[in-house]
Amino acid sequence: MADPVRLSAWVHGQVQGVGFRWWTRSRALELRLVGYARNTSDGRVHVIAEGSRAICERLLTLLRSGNTPGRVDLVVEDWGAAQGGFTGFEER
């Protein structure tokens, strides 16, 4: 595998209370990514995913696909080196 990366994605829209974190976790596990999805106090969902750049980009495409629970208005992405420490992908 290429050097692992960390995707940090801030998902804006109607994404809390609609099963969005569960859906994101399911997609991430299918892609064999590790990390988490958590609600933030301002109504966004923050997704951290680590794995290969190509696979993380596939998750990002899914987040922006329009086929998610709720309504995604905007996804702001940030990339960095993987930091490790995750075992699996969880909802927080």
Point out the residues that are catalytic. Answer: 21, 39
DSSP secondary structure code for residue 31 in this structure: T
Q: How far apart are CA 80 and CA 91, in angstroms?
A: 21
Nearest to 79 by CA among 4, 1, 8: 8
